[in-house]
Structure 1
Amino acid sequence: MAGIDLEVPAGSIFGFLGPNGSGKTTTIRMLLGLIAPTSGTVELLGQAMPNAQLAVLPRVGALVEGPAFYPFWTGQANLLRFDAADRTADPRTRKQRAGEALERVGLSNAAKKKVRAYSLGMRQRLAIAVALMQRRELLVLDEPTNGLDPQGTREVRSLIRELADDGTTIFTSTHLLAEVEQLCTHAAVMSRGQLLRQSTMAELRSELRPRLVVRTPDLERAEQTLAALGVRDLRRPSGHPADDRDGVPAVEGDPGELPIDKLAAALVTADVRLHGFGLERPSLEESFVALTGEGFDVAE
C-alpha cells in the first residue's frame, strides 16, 4: 500500500473500487485498526488509528469480509449478543434497538428464525443490522452485495440509499462496476496497492470524451480518409459490438472538434461503405480499465 489519502465527504456514498486483490480490504482493515500499517499513519474521522479506537469505533459501523454469526441462534439473539459486547451500548434499550434494526433491514418477520436457515442475502442484511444497533456517523461495508442474487442486491442497494438519505456516510468497497454506477456519489479507484484516482461520479462521467465509431468493410480506406482529416488515435477495437446482420468490423478515433457531418461526407466521397456511423461515449468500465490496466466484473 502506498500514499492512500481518501477524502470521503459527509453524507456521501463513497465507492472504493478495484479488481480483486487490489488492496481494498487491507485498506479497510487498517482504517478500522484491525491491522497496523508497516509504515506511515492511518486516520479515521480525523483521529489516529489504532490508538484512537475506543473513541472512534463507536461512531463507525462495519461489515468486513462477510458476516459471521452463531448459526443456531436466532437473528434477534445474535443482535442482542453483539450489542452486549459493545461497552458503549445501553442495555436498557437493547431489545428495542434490536427490533428497530431488524425492521430497518427488512428482517422483522425472520427475527425468531435461526440464522442457519437464513439465505446469504438475509445474512448480509443481518450484518448491516448489527452495524445499525446504534446511530453511526460512518458505515463501512466491504463488498456488501457479494454473492447475492439480483433481488438481494437490489434490497441492499435500497437500504444503503435510505441510510445515506438519513445522514449516514457510506463507505463501500466493491469490484463490481455496476455497484458504483448505480449507487455511489463519489468513487476512488485502487490497483495493486495504489490509489489511482478519486473524484465525484459526475466528474468521471464528464471526462469521458465521445469517440467516432465507423462500421465498414473498407477499414483501410476509412482509416486513411479519417487520418487525412485529422481524426486522432485511430484504432480497431477488439470485441467491439459488430453489426448483428453481417458482422461488419469497426474503426474508431477521437474526432476532436471536427464536424461530424463533414466526416461522414468525406467517407462517402472516398467510396467508404458505411454500415454504421456516429459518436459513442465510452463507458465507465472503459475509463476504469484504462486507469488500472485490469478488467472489472461488470455483471451482477
Structure 2
Amino acid sequence: MTDTAAAAAAPDTGPDTGPEPGTVIRTRGLTKRYRGGQLAVDGLDLAVPAGSVFGFLGPNGSGKTTTIRMLLGLIDPTSGTAHVLGRPMPAAARTVLPQVGALIEGPALYGFLTGRDNLVRFDSADPTADPRTRRARVEDALDRVGLAAAAGRKAKAYSLGMKQRLGLAAALLQPRSLLVLDEPTNGLDPQGMREIRTLVRELAGEGTTVFLSSHLLDEIEQVCTHAAVMARGRLLVQGPVSALSAGARGRLTVTTPDPADAARVLAEHGATGLVTDGDRVSTDAPQAGVELGDVNAALVRAGVRVRAFGVERASLEDAFVALTGEGFDVAG
C-alpha cells in the first residue's frame, strides 16, 4: 500500500474514553519512540473537528509526519491511542482507510505509465472501487487538479508540481470523509498553490474534513479553520486559527521623520520590542486597557511629527514564534 493510494479543544491527559462526538481525529497520549530512544511524538492529545480544514504546524523534526503515519496505520505507536472516523487505529485500518484520501511525503508513481494510467492502476487496487465508473472518476479527478491536458504524458516527465497534483488526484478518486495532505503545494507555482487552496475549500464545503500539514504559515492562515502547533514532539496549542492568532500581540507602527524621538516616547510609555527601520518605529502592541489615542497624543506633545500610526493584527506566524521561540523552517 503506497501512501498516495492508501489513503478546538485544549489538550487533556485524562484516560482514553474513545472518540469524542464531532471529532474526525482524536488521539490521547499518542507517543512514538524509535530505537535508540529517540522520542518523535510525546503524549499527543489532538482533536480535529468534523468538517474543519485543520492545519498541522511545526518546525523541522517536530513529529508531524510521524503523527500522520500513526494516524493512517503506517507505523504503530509506542503507546497511547488514536481514533480516526470514530474507529481505533491501526486496528480498524481496513474499515477506515477506504474513507480516507492521503498524500504523504509526495506521491509514489509509476514513471513509465501516463498520468491517467497511474490513476487507473491506483483505482484498480482499491477493492471498494466500482470498475464500471472508473474511467469517469479518473477523468474527473484529473480535471479537478488541473491535469486533464497532461493526462496522456508519462509521469516520469512530470515536474514536481505536476506529480503533486497527480498524487492529490489519486487521493480524490473516491468520495472521502477525510483527506490527509502532507505539504500538498510542494513544488507548485503561485497559481498552482491558489488552485489547490480553492480545491481544499471546495472539498471542505462538500463535507470532507481536510487535515493539512504545511510549512507555509500563510497558506494555513488563508485556508484553515483550525490548527495545531507542535514542537519537539509535543503539542503546544490547538484551536480555531482566529483564536491562535489572537493569542499573540500585534505590532504598533509609527511612521515619522523623528524616529529617535518616537522611540524614546514609546519607551517611556512602557513599549516593548522596539525596532527602528528608517522612518518606521514599531513595537509590541500595547496591553489591553492602554488607549492608543493617549499614546498618539503623547507623541504629538513631544513634538514627534506622526505621518502614520496604527496597529497591525498578529498573524499566525507571530503566534507560532511566540509559542515556540523560533522561526519556521520545513515540515517535520
Name the structure with the higher helix share. Answer: 1
Structure 2: 5+ residue runs without aligned partners? 1-40
2:220 maps to 180
2:261 maps to 218
Displacement of 1:268 in angstroms is: 3.6
After TM superposition, list the pairs within 5 Å mapping 1:137-176 onto structure 2: 137-176=177-216
Q: Which moved more, 1:62-71 or 1:212-221?
A: 212-221
Q: Residues of 2 paired with 1:253 and 1:133: CA distance?
A: 48
Distance verdict in 2 for CA 1:256–1:165, change over 3 Å: closer
Whether the 8 Å CA contact 1:218–1:273 is kept in 2: the answer is no
Question: Rg bigger for which structure?
Answer: 1
2:84 maps to 44
SS of 1:113 mapped into structure 2: coil
Q: Which amino acid aligns with 2:315?
A: S
Distance verdict in 2 for CA 1:92–1:250, change over 3 Å: closer
Distance verdict in 2 for CA 1:288–1:114, change over 3 Å: same
Whether the 8 Å CA contact 1:164–1:170 is kept in 2: the answer is yes
2:292 maps to 260
Whether the 8 Å CA contact 1:33–1:50 is kept in 2: the answer is yes
TM-score (norm 2): 0.78
Distance verdict in 2 for CA 1:145–1:248, change over 3 Å: closer
Aligned length, in residue pairs:
287
Structure 1: 5+ residue runs without aligned partners? 228-232
Aligned-pair identity (%): 60
SS of 1:217 mapped into structure 2: helix
Q: Residues of 1 paired with 2:192 and 2:288: CA distance?
A: 43
CA shift digits 1:241-264 (9 cap, x unpaired): x23xxx555454525323323223
1:60 maps to 100
SS of 1:61 mapped into structure 2: strand
Q: Does 1:235 align with 2:273?
A: yes
TM-score (norm 1): 0.86
1:3 maps to 43
Q: Residues of 1 paired with 2:138 and 2:285: CA distance?
A: 57
1:230 maps to none
SS of 2:179 mapped into structure 1: strand
Distance verdict in 2 for CA 1:294–1:80, change over 3 Å: same
Q: Residues of 2 paired with 1:125 and 1:213: CA distance?
A: 41
Q: Which amino acid aligns with 2:273?
A: R
SS of 1:8 mapped into structure 2: strand
Q: Residues of 1 paired with 2:210 and 2:267: CA distance?
A: 50
